[in-house]
Amino acid sequence: MLNVFPELLFLSFFAPLVLRAVLGFVLLSYSLNRLYRRKREFEGLFLNHFPLNGKTLLLAVGILELVFGLGLIAGLYTQIIALGVILLSLTAILGKNPVLLFRSSRLIYFFMLGISISLLLSGAGGFAFDLPL
């Protein structure tokens, strides 16, 4: 199939950069919501579903999202982080009452899953600290 704009193909190395940045900022936003902005709301939800360790689980998920987001933005261990985001997305999509715990539509987690699979297969792209071996 012929490309409509073949002159733009030299920029294909930077396509994963765009995906990394978008996914990283989404995870960073979710983390800040979970840890600071809407902390009370999430504490109530996590304590209702996990009475013994709800606050610890909330803190762990928030820190995990923070580390994943910062790692993707910086381009560190992109494929390993993509595996983690795949697991997080599948948990949110397939889990019992995930909308209550994650407070987002499953559609967003489908997008996150697709971007993560793409990053897992394509690598970090431009402006990353990951180097292909």
Whether 88 maps to a domain, the answer reads: yes
Whether 10 maps to a domain, the answer reads: no
pLDDT tens-place string over residues 28-69: 999 998 888 877 777 777 777 777 777 787 788 889 999 999
8 A C-beta contact, residue 65 and residue 24: no
8 A C-beta contact, residue 11 and residue 110: no
In this predicted structure, what is the pLDDT of residue 55?
A: 76
Q: What is the number of domains present in the chain? A: 1
Average per-residue pLDDT for the chain: 86
CA distance 4 to 62: 43
Whether 100 maps to a domain, the answer reads: yes
Whether 101 maps to a domain, the answer reads: yes
Whether 8 maps to a domain, the answer reads: no
Angle of helix 15-32 relative to helix 106-122, nearest 10 degrees, comes to 140
Tell me, yes or no, if the pTM score tops 0.95.
no
Whether 109 maps to a domain, the answer reads: yes
In this predicted structure, what is the pLDDT of residue 39?
A: 77
In this predicted structure, what is the pLDDT of residue 22?
A: 96
Q: Under 8 Å CB-to-CB from 81, ≥6 apart: which residues? A: 68, 71, 72
Length of the chain: 133
Name the residue range of residue 56's domain.
16-122
Whether 110 maps to a domain, the answer reads: yes
